[in-house]
Amino acid sequence: MTSAPAIAIDVKGLTKSFEGREVVHDLSMQVRRGTIYGFLGPNGSGKTTTIRMLCGLLTPDSGEGTCLGYDIRRDADLIKRRVGYMTQRFSLYQDLSVRENLEFVARLYGVPDARAAARDMIRRLGLSGREQQLAGELSGGWKQRLALGACTLPNPQLLLLDEPTAGVDPKARRDFWNEIHALAADGLTVLVSTHYMDEAERCHEIAYIAYGHLLTHGTVEEVIAKSALTTYTVTGDDLHELSDALAGKPGIDMVAPFGTSLHVSGRDKEALETTVAPWREKSGLHWQHSAPSLEDVFIELMNRSRDNFQ
């Protein structure tokens, strides 16, 4: 018996256009089996299109690769059978109960003993006591758990999560991510798109896509290191005035408020130091070198990305 490949997704040169407009350009990447891989980027940057091509749900115009050992062009149907897809919008039946929804999904996918499978999933996701509650009456967090249960009940090898925790409270988000990590520990590969920086930091690896171009990827630590940003955290008086004065100046790639402080960053350290030098002598301002945050990196990447729809 052949063991499962260590690489769940391996693609090269993926390109996709709609109505003559290129949405994804020459994208190559690998995703290791059992990892949680995060996709980040501006709205409309090609994240969803990329995920669908990676998993055989959408045919690329050019490029090649495999997903779960299957060719993304020739074996799309085989890939789809092994994928669970959780969309941002709740897609289960609102007028069926929690138990009825899960039993329906189990029967749809031919899961042996649908009732027992649904009962086990209810217990695993902490939905006990809500079996008879209509799905449409659940809060956002409980709907999220039900949706996760439904898409993992057929035991997929790959899980796609499209903005899965939008509008969900912090505790529900944490519980959700604890479950995702438990699933990954059991060998499930997860692709997740998110706009939350704390969720990106929970991923084993991340990729930043801007308007069809893959700009950076790797672990959070690798992505931050590759940014080559020099960052100052500034506290004190008149930070709004400082922000306005520095924006767009030589060496300044990003100026952004963070609570009661201001982050000032740039990739050209010498030009940055020259520009901020007069302000570092100004009384009432405290300048401190700091490591760039993941959010600093993504804001800087977004600032120098070109919208391909403009």
Q: Indicate which CATH number applies to the domain containing 52.
A: 3.40.50.300
Q: What separation, in Å, do the N-terminal and C-terminal C-alpha atoms of the chain show?
A: 52
Mark whether 240 and 172 lie in a shared domain: no
Mark whether 196 and 254 lie in a shared domain: no
Q: Residue 263 in contact with residue 3, Cβ under 8 Å?
A: no
Give me the domain span that covers residue 242. Answer: 230-291
Mark whether 180 and 263 lie in a shared domain: no
Mark whether 118 and 63 lie in a shared domain: yes
pLDDT in tens, 115-167: 999 999 999 888 888 889 998 888 888 888 899 999 999 999 999 998 888 77
pLDDT in tens, 59-84: 999 999 999 999 999 999 999 889 99
Mark whether 253 and 200 lie in a shared domain: no
Q: pLDDT confidence of 43, banded at 50, 70, 90?
A: confident
pLDDT in tens, 198-253: 889 999 999 999 888 999 999 999 999 999 899 999 999 889 999 999 999 999 99
Give the per-residue pLDDT at 306: 60
Among 223, 242, 274, identify where a domain stops. Answer: 223
Whether 42 maps to a domain, the answer reads yes
pTM: 0.86
Mark whether 185 and 262 lie in a shared domain: no
CATH of the domain at 250: 3.30.70.330
Comparison of pLDDT for 31 and 162, the residue scoring more: 31
Give the per-residue pLDDT at 98: 93
